[in-house]
Amino acid sequence: MNNKLKRVAAIHDISCMGKCSLTVALPVISAAGIEVSVIPTAVLSTHTGGFDGFTYRDLTDDILPVADHWKTLGVKFDAFYTGFLGSFTQIEMVSKIFDMLKSDDTFIVVDPVMADNGKLYSVFDENFPAEMKKLCSKADLIVPNITEAVFMLEEPYTEGPYTEEYISQILKKLSALGPEKVVLTGVCFDDKKIGAASYDRKTDTVAYALEDSIDGYYHGTGDVFASTLVSGVMNGLSIASASEVAAKFTVKSIIRTRDAKTDIRFGVNFEAGLCSLYEEIQSKLKK
């Protein structure tokens, strides 16, 4: 039996308060029994959703030196997992890191964080999706929401509910950009259920992981979902099964937060579910 930990390199920004990006990825993936190395792309006092006056320290100049040092150590990474990248320069640097440090069996996951609800985030211009698409072409798995997907495909954004035919078409077009596996979030076919759709080009299979829709907007849930998804895949789950675990874990985190009536700006209570996450993944593997 091989008890060696797998190692994931997470390349995200870090908010000192407010659960998102690295403050989600590090605990969630670690709780699933996977070693996490990190390259912070920026440090913020809080995340940018709902807070005013936050501080921001750009760490672009530190990204490649960290990777260069890792290169001298001869370490092997089983996966790379990228999230919010704040500039064209950071995208180019991450692309270089993939080429520099990946091995033949390194699994690359790109969450192309840049837009939601039909709009790009205010820090990005209309050329950003084309650059992000280039990075996605190097990935084995991408995890866009509906807005990010259509922007990379240069298609108009439409609000849900959607049809299965439309979602399947989007998934396959995204896979044609390069990644063999795609998980699309924000998928709904009515006003009762919402979740994710997954596509595996190798098996030409589309699957859905839908949970009860909960009113309100909860910060950081995309990072909770994507980090849990990475945890499942790196433990050996299929992309469809990992999506199911991620959807359930995310919704339970939202429900805890809603029921506690805490300030939603600070993120969702995923911590209370960490003790059972590894067991849930292992249970799924046995089915």
DSSP string for 55-115: -EEE-HHHHHHHHHHHHHHT---SEEEE----SHHHHHHHHHHHHHH--TT-EEEE---SE
Indicate if the pLDDT at residue 157 is higher than 80: yes
Q: Is the pTM of this model over 0.85?
A: yes
Lowest mean pLDDT among 145-149, 161-165, 217-221, 246-250: 217-221
Quote the pLDDT of residue 17. Answer: 95
Summarised one tens digit per residue, pLDDT across range 210-248 is: 999 999 889 999 999 999 999 999 999 999 999 999 999
Indicate if the pLDDT at residue 49 is higher than 90: no
Residue pair 22/14 in contact by the 8 Å Cβ criterion: yes
Indicate if the pLDDT at residue 283 is higher than 70: yes
Summarised one tens digit per residue, pLDDT across range 99-110 is: 999 999 999 999
Quote the pLDDT of residue 2. Answer: 52
Indicate if the pLDDT at residue 3 is higher than 80: no
44's CB contacts (< 8 A; 6+ apart) are: 13, 14, 15, 16, 54, 55, 56, 57
Share of the chain above pLDDT 70, in %: 99
Indicate if the pLDDT at residue 259 is higher than 90: yes
Report residue 71's pLDDT band, with 50, 70 and 90 as the boundaries: very high
Indicate if the pLDDT at residue 1 is higher than 50: no
Q: How far is CA 181 from the centre of its chain?
A: 13
Mean pLDDT computed over 33-41 = 98
